[in-house]
Amino acid sequence: MSSQTVHDLGNFHRFVGEKIHQGETSLSPEQVLDEWRDLNPDAKSAEDELDAIQEAIDDIENGDVGIPIEEFDRDFRVRRNLPTKS
Protein backbone atom coordinates (compact mmCIF):
# COMPACT_ATOMS: atom_id res chain seq x y z
CA MET A 1 0.00 0.00 0.00
CA SER A 2 1.45 3.38 -0.99
CA SER A 3 2.24 6.00 1.61
CA GLN A 4 -0.31 8.31 -0.09
CA THR A 5 -3.03 5.67 0.35
CA VAL A 6 -2.12 5.23 4.03
CA HIS A 7 -2.19 9.02 4.47
CA ASP A 8 -5.59 9.29 2.72
CA LEU A 9 -7.05 6.48 4.82
CA GLY A 10 -5.80 8.13 8.00
CA ASN A 11 -7.36 11.44 6.99
CA PHE A 12 -10.64 9.72 6.10
CA HIS A 13 -10.63 7.90 9.43
CA ARG A 14 -10.22 11.23 11.25
CA PHE A 15 -12.99 12.75 9.09
CA VAL A 16 -15.41 9.96 10.04
CA GLY A 17 -14.41 10.31 13.70
CA GLU A 18 -15.13 14.05 13.56
CA LYS A 19 -18.55 13.39 12.04
CA ILE A 20 -19.40 10.98 14.85
CA HIS A 21 -17.99 13.35 17.51
CA GLN A 22 -20.09 16.21 16.10
CA GLY A 23 -23.20 14.07 16.39
CA GLU A 24 -23.76 13.65 12.65
CA THR A 25 -24.90 10.07 13.12
CA SER A 26 -27.87 10.34 10.76
CA LEU A 27 -25.56 10.16 7.74
CA SER A 28 -25.14 6.82 6.04
CA PRO A 29 -21.62 5.54 5.28
CA GLU A 30 -22.25 6.36 1.61
CA GLN A 31 -23.23 9.94 2.48
CA VAL A 32 -20.09 10.42 4.57
CA LEU A 33 -17.96 9.03 1.74
CA ASP A 34 -19.71 11.32 -0.78
CA GLU A 35 -19.03 14.32 1.44
CA TRP A 36 -15.39 13.26 1.83
CA ARG A 37 -15.01 12.95 -1.92
CA ASP A 38 -16.57 16.38 -2.44
CA LEU A 39 -14.10 17.92 0.00
CA ASN A 40 -11.12 15.88 -1.24
CA PRO A 41 -11.44 15.42 -4.99
CA ASP A 42 -9.25 12.83 -6.66
CA ALA A 43 -6.61 14.58 -8.78
CA LYS A 44 -7.00 11.98 -11.56
CA SER A 45 -10.78 12.45 -11.69
CA ALA A 46 -10.39 16.22 -11.85
CA GLU A 47 -7.86 15.83 -14.66
CA ASP A 48 -10.23 13.53 -16.56
CA GLU A 49 -13.07 16.04 -16.15
CA LEU A 50 -10.87 18.87 -17.45
CA ASP A 51 -9.86 16.72 -20.43
CA ALA A 52 -13.52 16.03 -21.23
CA ILE A 53 -14.39 19.72 -20.99
CA GLN A 54 -11.49 20.64 -23.28
CA GLU A 55 -12.57 17.96 -25.76
CA ALA A 56 -16.09 19.45 -25.81
CA ILE A 57 -14.68 22.94 -26.34
CA ASP A 58 -12.52 21.64 -29.19
CA ASP A 59 -15.57 19.97 -30.77
CA ILE A 60 -17.55 23.22 -30.61
CA GLU A 61 -14.65 25.19 -32.08
CA ASN A 62 -14.51 22.65 -34.93
CA GLY A 63 -18.20 23.12 -35.71
CA ASP A 64 -19.72 20.19 -33.81
CA VAL A 65 -22.55 21.74 -31.80
CA GLY A 66 -24.12 18.46 -30.76
CA ILE A 67 -27.85 17.80 -30.98
CA PRO A 68 -30.79 19.88 -29.75
CA ILE A 69 -31.89 19.04 -26.20
CA GLU A 70 -35.36 18.13 -27.42
CA GLU A 71 -33.90 15.45 -29.72
CA PHE A 72 -31.65 14.10 -26.97
CA ASP A 73 -34.55 14.04 -24.50
CA ARG A 74 -36.83 12.20 -26.94
CA ASP A 75 -34.16 9.58 -27.78
CA PHE A 76 -33.17 9.17 -24.13
CA ARG A 77 -36.77 8.54 -23.10
CA VAL A 78 -37.25 5.99 -25.89
CA ARG A 79 -34.04 4.12 -24.93
CA ARG A 80 -35.05 4.02 -21.26
CA ASN A 81 -38.75 3.28 -21.82
CA LEU A 82 -39.70 6.50 -20.03
CA PRO A 83 -42.93 8.37 -20.65
CA THR A 84 -42.79 11.09 -23.25
CA LYS A 85 -42.68 14.66 -22.10
CA SER A 86 -46.07 16.34 -22.25
The model's confidence at residue 85, banded by pLDDT at 50, 70 and 90, is confident
Write out pLDDT tens, residues 1-51: 778 888 889 999 999 999 999 998 888 999 999 999 999 888 788 889 999
Residues 1 and 24 reside in one and the same domain: yes
Local confidence band at 86 (pLDDT 50, 70, 90 cut-offs): low
Q: Do 28 and 5 sit in the same domain of this protein?
A: yes
State the SS3 of 5-59.
Answer: HHHHHHHHHHHHHHHHHCCCCCCCHHHHHHHHHHHCCCHHHHHHHHHHHHHHHHH
Mean pLDDT of 62-74: 94
Average pLDDT over residues 66-72: 93
Same domain, 51 and 81: yes
Domain count, the chain: 2
